[in-house]
Amino acid sequence: MTSSLPNVSPIRREPLAAEVARRLVDYLLSGGVEPGARMPSERQLAEAFGVGRSAVREAIAALSLIGLIEVRHGDGSYLKRPDSPLLPQVVEWGLLLGEKRTIDLVEARQLIEVDIAGLAALRRSDEDLADLSRILGRMEWESRDGVESAAFVDADVEFHLKLAEAAANSALRDVLTSIQALLRAWIGRVIAEGHRDISYAEHVPILDAVRAQDARAAEAAMDSHMRSAARRLQATLERASRRDGAVALDAAMPAEAEGASAAIGRTRA
C-alpha cells in the first residue's frame, strides 16, 4: 500500500512506440533522410533502435497521421517534402515535444530576425515602407475581437517575410522563407490563445524604426518582440503539456486512428 505525498506526482512510463516516434523525429529532422526520399525499412529501423518491428510500425503510423511521413503501400515510407501543407503541424509537434532541432530553429529565428530588421531599416525603399505599413494596418484590423485568428497569422507572417525582402539580403531572406512552417506554427500556436493585440503593438515600433531608417532602434524593437514572443510560446506549450500530458494534436485525430495515436498521445514537452 502506498501513501500519497503532497506535491509529488507519479512517474509516467512512456509507451515504447512513443519513445521510438521521438527518436525517429529527431533522426528525420536532423537530416538523416532527405525530404522526399525513402526511409530505411522497418527492419533496419527496428535493428537501429533495438526494438521490435511492431513498435516501429506504430511510430511510423503515428507520424504518418500528422503528415511527417508518407506511407506508400508496397513501396515503403517517405519523408514529406518541406512544401507539404501539413508541415506546420509537424513543426508544432516538434515544439511540443521539445525536439532539439526545432528548438534550435526558434533560437535561430530570433537571431536572424534582429539582423533582418536592422538591414531593412537601412535599405528599405519607399515601396517597401508602403507595403509594410499596409500589412501592419491589416494586423491592426485583424487583431480586433470577432476576426478569425488565421487572418492575423497570415498578416503577421507576411510582415516578417516582407521585412526580409526589404533587407535586400538574399541569404537571410531565403533562410527566413525556408522556415515559414516554423513561423506559422509559432505564431498560430500563440495567437490561438489570444495575444493578438500585444503582438500587433510589438510590431509598431519595428515599423517606426524602419521608417526612420534607424537600424539600432529596429534591431532593439525586433529583439524585444522576439524575446516576448518566445516567452509567450513557452508559456503556451507548457499549458498544453499540462493538459493530462497530452499533445494538442490528439483532439484532431480521428477515433479510428486511436491505436496509432497512442504512439504520440502522451508525451512530455
DSSP 52-116: -HHHHHHHHHHHHHTTSEEEETTTEEEEPPTT-TTHHHHHHHHHHHT-HHHHHHHHHHHHHHHHH
pLDDT at 261: 37
pLDDT at 110: 84
DSSP code, position 226: H
DSSP code, position 231: H
The class of domain 90-241 in CATH terms is mainly alpha
pLDDT at 92: 53
Q: Where in the chain is the domain with CATH 1.20.120.530?
A: 90-241
- Cα–Cα distance, 254 to 262 (Å, whole number): 12
pTM for this entry: 0.58
Single-letter residue type at 191: I
Query: Residue 41: helix, strand or coil by DSSP?
Result: coil
Q: Where in the chain is the domain with CATH 1.10.10.10?
A: 16-84
Mean pLDDT by 10 residues, the chain (269 residues): 53 69 75 82 92 89 73 86 53 53 70 92 97 95 78 90 93 76 72 83 97 96 91 74 45 36 36
- What value, to the nearest 5°, has the Cα angle with vertex 64 and ends 45 and 48? 10
Q: Are 132 and 162 in contact (CB under 8 A)?
A: yes
Question: Which candidate, 17, 10, 12, places its Cα nearest to that of 258?
Answer: 17
Query: Residue 209: helix, strand or coil by DSSP?
Result: helix
pLDDT at 6: 59
- Cα–Cα distance, 65 to 157 (Å, whole number): 26
Q: Are 262 and 17 in contact (CB under 8 A)?
A: yes
pLDDT at 267: 35
Residue with cell 536572424: 112
pLDDT at 7: 54
The class of domain 16-84 in CATH terms is mainly alpha
- What value, to the nearest 5°, has the Cα angle with vertex 157 and ends 232 and 224? 45
